């Protein structure tokens, strides 16, 4: 109801400060790694008073968290749009995959910073992805786990595998186009890994 809460004409200074801090954090992560960064480093590199930092965030983790929360909205919106569109992508299982790869391609530096963003970032991203996948599973089919595999285990399995593929892709400069790496991930997830391990097929 009260839409005026988040944006009742935000002071340009705070917007500028926060944006600068986010950008600086990401670039510093790429330069020296997340753990090695101090709040001093961020403020120095961003030309922002240290007092100002504490006026906006309580810690390095808080800054990182805030940056990721922005991302969450973007992803949820994109997924909502994709689900609303009766196109080919909506009713495809693992539909989140291509959407995410495309978003990563459009913001490579951001995503590279995120996957290198230490325990905090990876934990939050895992959380966000888990929510997305859980929703998608619930929407795609209401069949309960056929045998005895808990649904949450399937979610964690998919998320873990996906984040590994995403990291692999980003670490190699995101060379293959999103459509291709998406196809590879989907194949591994749906057909299983056996065809890519041994010729034998099913023993």
Q: Name the site residues for DNA (rule: CB under 7 A).
A: 9-14, 16-17, 38-41, 47-52, 54-56, 58-60
Comparing CB distances to DNA, the nearer of 58 and 145 is: 58
Separation of alpha carbons 174 and 105, rounded Å? 7
Comparing CB distances to a second copy, the nearer of 69 and 180 is: 180
> Do residues 109 and 30 lie in contact, with contact meaning Cβ atoms separated by under 8 Å?
yes
Gap between the terminal Cα atoms of the chain: 59
Q: Which does 13 bind (CB under 5 to 8 A by kind): a second copy, DNA, none?
A: DNA
Separation of alpha carbons 15 and 61, rounded Å? 19
Comparing CB distances to DNA, the nearer of 2 and 148 is: 2
> Do residues 110 and 26 lie in contact, with contact meaning Cβ atoms separated by under 8 Å?
yes
Q: C-beta of 11: minimal distance to a second copy in Å?
A: 33
- Binding residues for a second copy, rule: CB under 8 A, are 34-35, 92-94, 118-119, 122, 137, 140-141, 143, 145-149, 151-154, 156-165, 167-168, 180, 184-185, 187-200, 202-203
CA distances from 178 to 98, 102, 170, 183 (A): 7, 6, 11, 8
């Amino acid at each position: 109801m009260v839409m005026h809460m988040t944006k009742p004409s935000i002071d340009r200074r705070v917007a500028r400060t926060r944006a600068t801090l986010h950008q600086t954090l990401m670039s510093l992560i790429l330069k020296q790694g997340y753990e090695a960064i101090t709040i001093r480093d961020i403020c120095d590199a961003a030309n922002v008073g240290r007092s100002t930092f504490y006026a906006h965030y309580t810690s390095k983790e808080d800054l990182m968290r805030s940056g990721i929360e922005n991302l969450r909205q973007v992803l949820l919106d994109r997924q909502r749009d994709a689900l609303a569109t009766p196109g080919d992508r909506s009713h495809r299982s693992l539909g989140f995959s291509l959407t995410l790869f495309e978003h990563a391609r459009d913001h490579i530096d951001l995503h590279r910073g995120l996957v290198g963003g230490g325990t905090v970032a990876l934990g939050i991203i895992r959380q966000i992805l888990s929510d997305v996948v859980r929703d998608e599973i619930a929407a795609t089919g209401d069949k309960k786990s056929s045998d005895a595999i808990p649904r949450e285990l399937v979610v964690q399995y998919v998320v873990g595998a996906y984040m590994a593929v995403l990291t692999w892709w980003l670490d190699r400069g995101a060379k293959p186009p999103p459509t291709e790496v998406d196809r590879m991930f989907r194949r591994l997830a749906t057909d299983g890994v056996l065809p890519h391990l041994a010729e034998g097929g099913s023993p």
